[in-house]
Each structure stands twice: as structure tokens, then as C-alpha cells.
Chain A
Amino acid sequence: MVRSLRGPRQIAVSVFVVTVFFIPGVCLAQTSELEAIRGIVKNLEQQLQKALSRIDQLEKEKASTSVRVDQVEKSVQAVQSAPSSFNPAIGLVLDATAEHRAKAGGDFNFRAAELGVAASIDPFARMYSFMTGSKEGFEVEEAAAITTSLPWNLTAKGGRFFADFGRLPKNHPHEYAFVNTPLSIERMVGGESKADGVELNYLFPFPFFLRATLGGYNKIGEGNERLDDTKSRAWSRFTYLARLNTYFDVTDHQSIELGSSLAYTPSVRVAGDPSGGDRTLAGIDLTYRYQPLDSTTYQGLTIGSELFTNSERVIRPNDLIKREQSFGGYSYAELKLNKSWSTGFLFDYAPSIESPGKKTLSYSPFLTWNLSEFNRLRFQYSYFDDKVREDKAERGNQFFLQWTTIIGAHTHGFRGR
């Protein structure tokens, strides 16, 4: 019995010893393994943190290197471009036509090569000039300085410029929606409203656009031969201008612009008339625009009209000097079909200043192809019902193909909108 119990007892003791000493040892070993693993993980975490910090640091260094490279590049560019930094913006417009008159034949007409320059003079003023060469010769069409920092919403302009009379008279012909200057503008205003003088503009402090202009000039009109402005004269022989211009958004896509202009010359000397007399040239301009905002580069409609009235003493065809009042004007519509094509129609009513009963009516459909913003072809047909011009070559059917191109920087700014 005792012998039989010894074996099991030994086994139990052995098991006990193993349990007491070995398993804790195993547990201890497992715990130390866990600790080791924890240690490894912690170490890895620390290394990962270091790696991420290093990546951040390298990215920052790269960014600052890029900034330094950028700065060096900009410095190099600044040094290289410094001599040209104060050069004005320069652009050149070429306007040429091929023409055919049914009663006179054809012609290639080099209408204008117009060089435009513009730049700031200083913080107080800017300057611009348009110098034009044509088959008539070379001339400075405009060269004017304009203030930029007068108080009370005032702007002053001085030099040679297109006086702020009407809408189209103060634009260069290549900016028109059609080929030729309407005869009503040629006869009544004298073509482009070119003038040597001064102007003052005032922007009313209203929530809507309202702008007033006052001006004083030698005379208004490229083709105005009433005055030789190379000689000094009494102030009564100058021309004085007043204009009001306003604009309304009818909807987001439609607008109306309205202007009224008055040019008054107190004394105009007529050859053979010792007393002379005053001259009043007035105009009203109305422009309707449909410009859908989300498709304005390829859709739109513009309808523009101007009505002029002129009152002055003139030499009648029978050599009698008499005060005559004449009315004339034009109206046109231009429809933008897509980004490249537009079409329209111009009607023009141009009276004779000397014999207002006589007039020239013209009807001109036109089609414009914009190859790009800077390259334009235009075809126009005109019919002249003319009772005024003695030259019969100007009557009847006329055909025009106009090519207008621009290089460099070229903008006529706000007035060319």
C-alpha cells in the first residue's frame, strides 16, 4: 500500500513542482515576450515618428528651395526686363478693304494702320495715343493725358482726342459693327469727333450709372472745315460740349444705354457773311443690348441708333446765306450667331447741311466672320439712294470686303464696349 502510493505521490509532487516553478516560468517567458514585442512596437513607433518628421522637414525644405528658386528666377527676370519695364502697351491695327462701286469700278483701300500706345504717367495720370497711317498720309489721331486721382468723382482729359459727342462718332471706324462710317455722322458731325481741347467728366454718386461731360475745343470733327484751328481766335469761336450718359440693366441679360449731347459754337464765320452766327449740333443716342450671360461669347443682339440735329447759317446753293436746320441719323442691328459669325443691317439718313431738303439714304446688310478675337473679315453690300453728292460714282450698288487685324496690346477701353 505504501509502495503503491509512492509512485503517484512522486508524480503529484513532480506535477506540483512543475506547476509552481515551470508554468510561472512559462508565463514569465510569455510576459517577457510581450514586453519585448511592446518594446519593438514602441521602437517602431518612435522610428515612424522620426521618419514622418523627417518627411515633413524635407517637404518644407523643398518648398523653401522652390521659393528661393522662384525668387532667384524672378530676380533674374526683373533684371533682364528692367529696361523694358516702363515701355507702354503697344498695339497695331490694320484696316483694309477691297471695294467695288457699280458706277465707278473697284479699289483696294488701305484705310488705316493704327498704332496705339498707352501707359501710366505717374500715380496721378495716364496717357494714350493713336497714330494712323493711311493713303491720305500720317497723322496723330489722338494723344491725350487723363487724370486718375482727382477727387469728387472727376476726371480731366487734355490734348487731342475724340470728343465725348454721341456714341459712334467717338469710336475708330474699325471698331464699328459695319464697314463704313455712316454718312449722317460724316456730314453732321464731321466724321470722327476729333478735337483739340479739354474735357471734364463727372460720375454721379448714384447706384446707377450716370456720367456728365463738359468740354471745350477748337472744333469737333475730323472733316469739320468751318475753322482753321492753326490760328488763335476769340473764345466765342470755340466749341463747347455738354453730354449726359446713363445705363440701365433691364434684366440680367438686357440693357439700355441712353445719351444726349450738345455741341455749341457761339460764332461760326461763314465766308461772305460778315455777321456770322452760332452753330448748335445736338444728338441723342440709344443702344439696346441683349447679352445672355452664359452665352455672351456666341449669342447676342445689339440695336443702336443715333439722331442728330444741326442748326447754323450756311451758304445755300444759290449763294444766299441762311440759317438751316437739318436732321439725320442712323440705326443698325447686329445679331451674334455664334462665336465666329455675326450679321446685321444698317440704315442711314444723311441730309445735306446746305440743302436739308436733299438727303442720302443708304441700306447696308453685312456679315462678319471673326476668325479669332484679333482677325476679322466682313462683307457688306450698300445701296445709296443719293440726291446730294454730285459724284454719281457714289450712288447705287457698292460692295465691300474688309479685313481687320490686330497685333500687340490693343484696346479702346470703356468707349469701345
Chain B
Amino acid sequence: MMRVLSGLKIWRIFFAALILVLLQTGLAFAQPIRVIASWPALADIARQVGKDLVNVESLATGVEDAHGVPVKPSFVPKLNRADVLLLIGLDDEHSWIPALLEVANNPKILPGQPGYIDCSVGVSVLEAPTRVDRAEGDLHPKGNPHYLLDPVRAKVVAQNIATGLARNFPQHQQVFEKNLKSYVAELDNWIGRWEKMATPLRGIKFVEYHPEWVYLADRFGMKRIGSIELKPGIEPTPNHLVGLTQQIKEEKAQLLLYGAQNPRLPKQIANETGIKVLRLYSGGGSQPETNTYIKWIDYTVRTLVQAVGQS
């Protein structure tokens, strides 16, 4: 009798343990996919594609210069736990992400692995240099990486994110595709609105601090006449500034755009030429009005149009 009771007790313990294990496993399956994105705009697009299935975090906040994002050890635990890593690509993150991946101890998000999602794949790239030589400045050999400023190209990014997520989590492929279709439709709607809103920008001449506005200019018909930097990443010489000031006056450029750069030179040029200076970041998320991709582009286009109207 005692033996029977003892056997029952063992079975009870066994079943209780089994239930606990199943609960844990269930919880594990229920955990969202951990997505780490390099920039806030990518993080937002990932949220639109993944919805409740993903928990997304951006490492950069959107106010940083792409070449000056600090290599913070606090990013390392986040990368260590990530299921997938989203990158702008085109070597945009070359100064910080590779150093972090060295110590993140996460093989599945290393370059070439399924969890490493380069969002630039298939994007039609502008300004790919014909000569890769640092005499031409701090070039991006694969082309200008600031393509997210073109909402049409953002549709390719959304597709890449959906494909990458589905590659890693094929059980959710249909959900990602459905969300992608819905988000692309929303983007198309906004693109139509922006194209109408941006009509006053056609033919407007502008100057930029660093070459990062080419995709937006190409989409909405703006014309870049020069940059403050002598060459990409190279601060201007006095002679270059004199020539640029003269060019602004002759060509009647209306806007000077800068982002994470020092405002001293833009203000100096504005004082000499009367050109309207705008601080607009080439990465979203820097302020509440730009905390989603659509809000960021809308804010950017709206601000440019208002500035043209006032200048």
C-alpha cells in the first residue's frame, strides 16, 4: 500500500514537473522576436512589419552623425540577446557596429549569417564612386547610404525586413507578408500625398553640409549645388567657403541643410548670403514629431516646403 502511495506521489511530481516544463516552453515560444536596429527609422519599419511578433530596439537615437555613433559597451548586451540585427548597410555603420559585434558573442547576427539583415539589398543606389580613393574624401565605396530619405526606396527596405524576419522565423512568414502588404499600401498612399505636397520643391536649389540629401532631392526634384564639406567627411578650407558663398549668391540657392554637424559654419554662411538654414536629421527618431518613419518623412517634407514658402 505504501509502495502504491509512494508511486502515485512520484507520478504526481513527474506530471507537475512536466507541466512546469511545458509552461516554460510555451512562454519561450510566446516571447517576441528580439530585433535590434542600428537606426530608429529601421526600427519603426520593423515594428510595422512584425507588429506583436517583434520587440524592436534601436541603438542610435537619430541625432547622431552616422560616422560618430559612440561605440558604447552598453550596446553589447543588447546585441548579445538579439535574434536579428537590422542595418542600413552600404558601410553606413562601419565605424561602430563591427567593433561591437566583435565582443557581442552572438554568432547568428554576424555578417553573412541569417540574423544579419542588410536593408540595402536591392536598393537602387546613387553616387557609387567610380574611383575609390581617399583623395576624394571619406567615401562610401558602395554608394551613398542615406537612401531612407526616399520613401519609394523605403518599400524595398520593408521588403528586406520582411524577408529577413521570415528567413529566421518561417512559421510567421504569412503574418510578415500580410503586414508588409498593408504597410506598403500605407506608404504608397503617403507617397502620393508627399509628391503633391512637395510640388513647390521642384527646381529649388540647396546646399548641404554633408552629402546626405541626394535621395530626397532626386525624388522631389530639388537641385543640390554644393556642400560645405570640401569632400565627404573633410572639413572645408577657407577658399572652399569663399567659393561656396559666391556660388550660393550667383545661383540664388534658397536652403542650406545640416544635421548632426556643427551649426557654426551654416550660421556663418547664412549671415553672409541670407540663405535659409534648416537643421534636419538624415535619420528619423530625433524628436517626437519624427518617431515613426512616416512621421519623419512627413515632417521633413513639410518643413522643407514651409521653408521654401518663407524664403
Contacts and interface: CB of A to CB of B under 8 A. Distances in A.
Given A203-B105, A340-B235, A414 B100 contact: yes
A203 B64 contact: no
Nearest to B60: A293
A339 interface: yes
Interface string B55-99: 000000101110111111110110011000000000000000011
Contacts of B138: 372-374
Given A208-B77, A373-B233, A407 B134 contact: yes
A148 B110 contact: yes
Interface in A221-256: 247-249, 252, 255
Contact of B72 (A247, A372, A373, A416): A247
Interface in B233-254: 233-235
B170 interface: no
A298 B262 contact: yes
Interface string A248-268: 110010010100000000000
Contact of B99 (A207, A211, A417): A417
B35 to A, nearest CB: 17
A294 interface: yes
A373 to B, nearest CB: 6
Contact of A206 (B67, B77, B110): B77
Nearest to B80: A203
B74 A249 contact: yes
Q: Is the interface of B mostly helix, strand, loop or mixed?
A: loop
Nearest to A150: B105
B260 A297 contact: yes
A209 B134 contact: no
A247 B235 contact: no
B80 A205 contact: yes
A49 interface: no
B203 interface: no
A249 B63 contact: no
B103 interface: yes
A43 interface: no
Interface in B127-162: 134, 137-138
Interface string A318-338: 000000000000000000001
B271 interface: no
Contacts, number: 98
Contacts of B137: 372
Interface string B99-111: 1101111010010
Given A203-B76, A208-B77, A297-B67, A252 B103 contact: no
Given A201-B103, A372-B138, A249 B61 contact: no
B60 to A, nearest CB: 8
Nearest to A339: B235
Interface in B211-243: 233-235
Interface string B263-276: 01000000000000
A105 interface: no
A296 interface: yes
Interface string A268-303: 000000000000000000000101011111100000
B182 interface: no
A134 interface: no
A153 interface: yes
A289 B71 CA distance: 12
A33 B274 CA distance: 63
A257 B73 CA distance: 9
Given A148-B107, A339-B261, 19 more contacts: A123-B107, A146-B102, A153-B105, A154-B105, A155-B105, A206-B77, A208-B74, A247-B72, A257-B73, A293-B61, A296-B64, A297-B260, A338-B262, A338-B264, A372-B134, A374-B134, A374-B138, A411-B99, A417-B71
Interface of B: 61, 63-65, 67-74, 76-77, 80-81, 98-100, 102-105, 107, 110, 134, 137-138, 233-235, 260-262, 264, 286
Nearest first, the 6 closest Cβ-Cβ pairs linking A and B are A297-B68, A247-B73, A294-B63, A149-B107, A209-B73, A417-B71
6 contacts: A203-B103, A211-B76, A294-B63, A296-B65, A338-B264, A339-B261
Interface of A: 123, 146, 148-150, 153-155, 201, 203, 205-209, 211, 247-249, 252, 255, 257, 289, 291, 293-298, 338-340, 372-374, 407, 411, 413-414, 416-417
